[in-house]
Structure 1
Amino acid sequence: MTETEKDRDILARTLWGEARGESLAGQIAVAWTIRNRVNDDQDKSWWGEGYTGVCQKPYQFSCWNRNDPNYVYLSGAKPIPPGQFAQAQKAADLVMSGAETDPTGGATHYYATTMPKAPAWTVGARQTLKLGHHIFFKDVP
């Protein structure tokens, strides 16, 4: 897998859209769920191929949905406010380079605790971590 600057940029934009209010550790955890999908060891992964393919897989990361208020920033139609993007870029770099280990224990899913109730997919899944406003899972049926 070739990790390009586009992959880094798309991963950082996804982190900004999904977890900009989180600490660096929280953004690293979200980035690891993406990396775990990227590295699923399948030739043609359902998740998509590479960081860009995984992040922009339809309906997987809501910030990329065209009706999401973050989309205008992620697509470049509006600039991300200055100073808000640096932490997401740092988290993307740390995870893509392997400088930070996976705090999620192999999670491929998470949801925000700000949701009114847990998503249906959590039934039967194994919770691996709660950090900031996110709860992480693996072995999702």
Structure 2
Amino acid sequence: MQRPGRALARRGRGGRVVTAPELLALTLRVEAGDRPVRAIEALAALVVNRARLAMAGAAERERFAPGARPGLAFPALLARALRAPFLFGCWMPRHPRRAALLEAADRQDPALAICRRVAARAVAGALPDPTGGATHWHAAEVLPGWALGQVPVAEIGGLVFYRLATAAGPARAAA
């Protein structure tokens, strides 16, 4: 039986195998590694939310995990959700944080260790969701155009979270 997160293995820089938890940890390090642990956990929960929604049907799979085949294991869907267009700038080839993503993989620092622990919990299903089912986010210091008129469901550690309408129905207000 495979361990959680081992369903997806890619060759990274230098030919090393990169699993779904490692992809998530690297993303968390670059996007939120300098923020409080609660913010890192919230961002990981958002990725889990998107991967779970991708399991719901074809429209959700295409929206939240583009290119994923039906029946993919959860870690593989999570890895696809991580790399969905525009979710995390660090995955866009010309984005300034792209270099930081590649550098993070090659160094050992305390923030990356924290992100690895959070990622392992997220992939194993042991991470609570403090975002109320959020599917979108941005840093509090910016306001992207898509967020105009949207009601946040949570603000945690300088990150703002939203649950936008899905193909299955409209977003619900947070209780």
TM-score by length of 2: 0.69
Residue identity over aligned pairs, in percent, reads 26
1:123 to 144, 148, 155: 148
Distance in 2 separating the partners of 1:127 and 1:77: 30
The change in CA–CA distance for 1:122 and 1:69 in structure 2 (over 3 A counts) is: closer
1:67 corresponds to which of 64, 75, 94: 94
Which amino acid is the alignment partner of residue 136 of structure 1?
A: F
Letter in 2 for 1:15: L
2:123 equivalent in structure 1 = 96
Structure 1 residue 8 corresponds to structure 2 residue 21:
yes
Give CA-to-partner distance per residue, 1:20-66, whole Å, 9 cap, x none. Answer: 11121110100111111101012433221412111112322101122
Q: Which has the higher helix share?
A: 2
- The one-letter code sitting in structure 1 at the alignment partner of 2:62 is S
Query: Displacement, 1:77?
Result: 8.9
* Stretches of 4+ aligned residues off by more than 6 angstroms: none
Q: Distance in 2 between matches of 1:120 and 1:35?
A: 24
Contact 1:36 1:108 in 2 (8 A): yes
Corresponding residue SS for 2:154: strand
- Opposite residue 128 of structure 1, the aligned amino acid is V
Aligned partner of residue 75 in structure 1, secondary structure: helix
Q: Confirm or deny: 8 A CA contact 2:51 2:81 kept in the other structure.
A: yes
Number of aligned positions between the proteins: 138
Q: What residue number does 1:18 align with?
A: 31
1:79 aligns with 2:106: yes
Larger Cα Rg: Structure 1 or Structure 2?
Answer: 2
2:159 to 128, 134, 140: 134
CA RMSD in angstroms, aligned pairs only: 2.3
Counterparts of 1:86 and 1:78 in 2: how far apart (Å)?
11
For structure 1, the residue ranges without an aligned partner over 5 or more in a row are none
Tell me, yes or no, if the aligned pair for 2:5 and 2:124 is still in contact at 8 Å: no
Aligned equivalents of 1:102 and 1:30: distance in 2?
Answer: 9
Cα 1:80–1:63, aligned 2, differ >3 Å: closer, same or farther? farther
Deviation, structure 1 residue 67: 2.2
In the alignment, structure 2 segments of 5+ residues that lack a partner are 10-18, 69-76, 171-175
Which residue pairs with 1:38 in the alignment?
51
